[in-house]
Structure 1
Amino acid sequence: MPEETLLAFDIGVKRIGVAMGNTLMREARPLEIIPAGTRDSRFARIAALFKEWQPQRIVVGLSLAADGGEQPMTVQCRRFANQIYGRFGLPVVLVDERYSSMIAQSQRKLKRGEGDDALAAAVILQRYFDDPLAIELPTAMPVAKSPAASVPDGEGADAPPVAAQSSDAPPPISPETSS
């Protein structure tokens, strides 16, 4: 497998955490925090990061309830993943991000008002690197028919659903059948 650079995103209401890593070192590191701002300002900054880092794959944290079920933020994460795919055409994988912020906070003492979003994005990306059973489905393969996977504002609506990865779910296909 050739070396790939990956960018990871931790989607929040007020901020988006960004981390980067590559498949050679398999080590994630926090990169920056993007203020929520307008959609145009967010995607302008993301486009600049893509130009600077030239990633071959994107990881987006999928916000799930403690029991693994969907919640309102799950829809936002799926929408963001579809928008990334629609705008940039790169493979996108969703990774269970439960407790990533708590883990990030435990790794470093934060100053008052300092965000942990980039650290949480690094935790999410590290989960992707560390899971030996993680198999990414082709981006165009449907995951599950769910209203949460739709994109109501039309942004990236033509983009196919992205693959989801759960750290405690078995891989959907066997390694022998993937290419």
Structure 2
Amino acid sequence: MTTTEPFFPQSGRLAGIDYGTVRMGIAICDPGRILVSPLEILRRSPPEQETKYFRQLVQTERIEGFVVGLPIHCDGGESDKSRESRKFAIWLQETTERPVRLFDERFTTADATRRLQAGGMSRNRRKQRLDAVAAQIVLESFLEAARYFGDEKLPGQPIDAPDDGAAPLDDSDQ
């Protein structure tokens, strides 16, 4: 049985997001999808301010799509935090009119911490950069998976279909 994946651009700049309820790390790649750089940390704000921020990000950075980190338990199961990330991804796609994929973010914070420690940053400076570096790792991992699978499979998950056998999200349960 063949399923059709939702459209996701095969070229152009992407933004990676390490979603959080207090702040979000943002990273972007170059148009050739070779280099990924941490961009900034966005402190959460009212929805109208975040709408303005993400629409402006799409315009100024020429973003073609987003990859949002999906927190998954070590056993592969999803949590309330996973559900929050999915809802954010749906909002982001509706707000920016850009496609969004979810990508497993297990161990990204630990990896980001190791990278920053290896760079010799002070604890305070590491804390300031951690979420943006975690977003960088999510986006790097997504791009690496995309290169590995080629045209065979789009990495990650669509925003509305949990990979754990659960039913797709339905806003009626809010």
Normalised-by-shorter TM-score class: 0.7 to 0.9
Q: What is the match of residue 29 of structure 1?
A: 37
| Aligned partners of 1:74 and 1:148 also within 8 Å | no
Q: What is the match of residue 150 of structure 1?
A: 170
Return the alpha-carbon distance in structure 1 between the equivalents of residues 62 and 47 of structure 2: 21
Return the alpha-carbon distance in structure 1 between the equivalents of residues 172 and 115 of structure 2: 37
Q: CA deviation at 1:47?
A: 1.8
Runs of 4+ in 1 over 3 A off after TM superposition: 139-148, 150-154
| Aligned partners of 2:55 and 2:95 also within 8 Å | no
Q: CA deviation at 1:17?
A: 0.6
The 1:64/1:50 distance shift into structure 2, 3 A limit, reads same
Q: What is the match of residue 123 of structure 1?
A: 137
Q: What is the match of residue 51 of structure 1?
A: 59
Q: What is the match of residue 93 of structure 2?
A: 85
Q: CA RMSD in A?
A: 2.8
What is the percentage of aligned positions where both structures have the same residue? 23
What 5-or-longer segments of structure 2 have no aligned partner? 1-8
Structure having the larger proportion of residues in helix: 2
| Aligned partners of 2:86 and 2:160 also within 8 Å | no
Return the alpha-carbon distance in structure 2 between the equivalents of residues 91 and 124 of structure 1: 16
Q: CA deviation at 1:8?
A: 0.9
Aligned partner letter, 2:84: Q
Counterpart secondary structure, 2:128: coil
TM-score w.r.t. length of structure 2: 0.76
TM-score w.r.t. length of structure 1: 0.74
Equivalenced residue count is: 153
Q: CA deviation at 1:36?
A: 1.4
Counterpart secondary structure, 1:149: coil
What 5-or-longer segments of structure 1 have no aligned partner? 155-179
Q: What is the match of residue 96 of structure 1?
A: 104
| Aligned partners of 2:58 and 2:64 also within 8 Å | no
| Aligned partners of 1:35 and 1:42 also within 8 Å | no
Return the alpha-carbon distance in structure 2 between the equivalents of residues 141 and 5 of structure 1: 19
| Aligned partners of 2:51 and 2:95 also within 8 Å | no
| Aligned partners of 1:30 and 1:118 also within 8 Å | yes
Q: What is the match of residue 50 of structure 2?
A: 42
Greater Cα shift, 106-115 or 87-96: 106-115
Aligned partner letter, 2:149: L
